Copies of this chain bind each other. A is one copy, B any other.
């Protein structure tokens, strides 16, 4: 049976065939989704990608407790973010543009942290604004100038997911909403927040999957980078 031959855009590690061409197609760094992978597999993948691109950071997300403990032992130069449950290897890029990340409550911290690290790895800067849930509006109204000075907003909330609607009414900056699985009973693991955000009465709110801080971060970094003046344009 004919085979299509080895593909230079793929790194075959035996247990996985890495797409190492994404940077060429999309301009983004390499990212490893850690769920379901053993610490050994993660170390191999991170090392392989780092060797191919030693000048830019590789990101691994959704690490297990075991992987968070093991990976830095095998790769001492790796940097661990315990709240985001993620690891980076290699130098972070300079930041172009700023993404403001708003979160509603303390329980939303892991998703906000994953978004923040993803944004930094993808080349934009971050302004964190935490604990500004809609049941205490004074906290949100006190940061309106920080909203206005951002190039993109990432708004993280669980429960009823109302925060993006309120923020979207205060600002015209592009806004990505991230529903989290925080809640109980009829929150259905984040579905209530997801539906709330999809039905926002504020126009121009877009949404990613439940707990998907990574996806929101990739998108927001792209928007912020493009909105910032090019360094070589000055």
Contacts and interface: CB of A to CB of B under 8 A. Distances in A.
Nearest to A175: B219
Contacts of A165: 134-135, 160, 162
A172 B203 contact: no
Contacts of A193: 199
Contacts of A226: 151, 174, 223, 226-227
Interface stretch (A50-58, A72-80, A84-92, A142-150): A142-150
A160 B197 contact: yes
Range for the number of chain A residues in contact with chain B: 35 or more
A198 B177 CA distance: 12
Interface in A12-49: 15-17, 19, 21-22, 25-28, 31, 35-37
Contact of A166 (B27, B166, B206): B166
A186 B176 contact: no
B184 A136 contact: no
Given A174-B226, A204-B218, A226-B174, A7 B138 contact: yes
A160 B209 contact: no
A1 B169 contact: no
A71 interface: no
16 contacts: A1-B127, A4-B143, A17-B106, A25-B169, A26-B169, A134-B202, A135-B200, A160-B162, A162-B165, A172-B222, A174-B219, A174-B223, A185-B212, A198-B209, A206-B206, A226-B227
